[in-house]
């Protein structure tokens, strides 16, 4: 049922270290980017120029880490997250997810790898309006061909405090409730890696604080690696490590 409803809508180091590279001793990373760049050609009348969004980004994220990517608006944080997930393609460089060369795969292969490894939490929630809360959380389980999707989704929604809102549609839920549904959906498959892009950007301060508390609680319980994009230093301070980006380059870790 859920698949039918969604078919038309689902197409959517410290400062002393090298300036654009943060290296960890272990090679057993869950995320590794090497010399990653995103450069967009621009045409300006008779002349051509380039917009450098990201330049020579190299980093590693180890299993179980909570890492924040921080920087001002326009620094390239969200673009980096999209590249690390394979939602966008780089101009140059490489990304390995759990040992797999992401861009050696075609689009379908990248989608399959995401379904296997990743959970997502976005600023804009990305809930499907034609599905109720339960169906939205069931969706990744059903797409993966798993069994017991309804029971697992109910349990996860109860964990985020929405046991009484299973049949409510996104338009009838508050912003905080919608983001909790999105958290439940992200964690229900028990992903190895959770990517979150400004997850409280559309929430008031009190509601956002509650969502962040819940995210870190679920992260600890599930032992899921967390990679979080934020401009909020208080939120970033809750992560074990911060990677700071400025003008498309890694400025340092702190």
DSSP 126-174: ---TTS-HHHHHHHHHHHTT-S-HHHHHHHHHHHTT-GGGTT--GGGS-
Predicted structure pTM score:
0.80
CA pair distance 33, 112, nearest whole angstrom: 19
- Contact (CB, 8 A) for 195 and 182: no
Domain count for the chain, please give it. Answer: 1
Let me know if residue 166 belongs to a domain. Answer: yes
pLDDT at res. 208? 84
Let me know if residue 58 belongs to a domain. Answer: no
Domain that holds residue 194: 2-17+63-88+107-253
pLDDT band for 48, please (50, 70, 90 cuts): low
How far does the chain reach from its first CA to its final CA, in angstroms?
47
Residue 99 CB neighbour total at 10 angstroms:
10
Let me know if residue 98 belongs to a domain. Answer: no
* Lowest-pLDDT choice from 86-90, 149-153, 201-205, 235-239: 201-205
Let me know if residue 125 belongs to a domain. Answer: yes
pLDDT band for 21, please (50, 70, 90 cuts): very low
CA pair distance 119, 187, nearest whole angstrom: 6
* Mean pLDDT, residues 213-234: 87
Is the pLDDT confidence value at 3 over 50?
A: no
pLDDT at res. 22? 41
Let me know if residue 84 belongs to a domain. Answer: yes
pLDDT band for 233, please (50, 70, 90 cuts): confident
CB-based contacts of 110, cutoff 8 Å, min separation 6: 86, 102, 103
* Mean pLDDT, residues 139-149: 88
pLDDT at res. 17? 34
Q: What sign has the CA pseudo-torsion 44, 20, 226, 101? A: positive
Let me know if residue 43 belongs to a domain. Answer: no
pLDDT at res. 13? 37
pLDDT at res. 46? 57
Let me know if residue 72 belongs to a domain. Answer: yes
The CATH code of the domain that includes 70 is: 3.40.50.300
* Mean pLDDT, residues 199-211: 84
Let me know if residue 211 belongs to a domain. Answer: yes
More confident residue, 122 or 185: 185
pLDDT at res. 152? 95
Average pLDDT of the chain, as a whole number = 85
């Amino acid at each position: 049922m859920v698949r039918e409803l969604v078919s038309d809508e689902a197409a959517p180091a410290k400062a002393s270290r090298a300036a654009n590279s943060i290296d960890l001793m272990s090679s057993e990373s869950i995320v590794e980017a090497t010399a990653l760049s995103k450069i967009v050609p621009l045409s300006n009348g008779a002349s051509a120029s380039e917009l450098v969004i990201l330049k020579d980004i190299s980093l590693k994220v180890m299993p179980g880490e909570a890492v924040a990517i921080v920087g001002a608006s326009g620094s390239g944080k969200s673009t980096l997250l999209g590249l690390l997930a394979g939602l966008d393609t780089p101009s140059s460089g490489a990304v390995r997810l759990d040992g797999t060369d992401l861009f050696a795969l075609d689009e379908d292969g990248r989608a399959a790898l995401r379904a296997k490894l990743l959970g997502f939490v976005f600023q804009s929630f990305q809930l499907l309006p034609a599905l109720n809360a339960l169906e939205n959380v069931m969706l990744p389980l059903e797409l993966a061909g798993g069994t017991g999707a309804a029971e697992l989704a109910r349990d996860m929604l109860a964990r985020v405090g929405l046991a009484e809102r299973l049949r409510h549609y996104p338009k009838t839920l508050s912003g905080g409730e919608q983001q909790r549904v999105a958290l439940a959906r992200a964690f229900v498959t028990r992903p190895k890696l959770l990517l979150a892009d400004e997850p409280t950007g559309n929430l008031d301060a009190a509601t956002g604080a509650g969502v962040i508390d819940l995210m870190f609680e679920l992260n600890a319980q599930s032992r899921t690696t967390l990679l979080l994009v934020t401009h909020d230093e208080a939120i970033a301070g809750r992560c074990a490590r911060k990677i700071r980006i400025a003008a498309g380059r890694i400025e340092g870790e702190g």
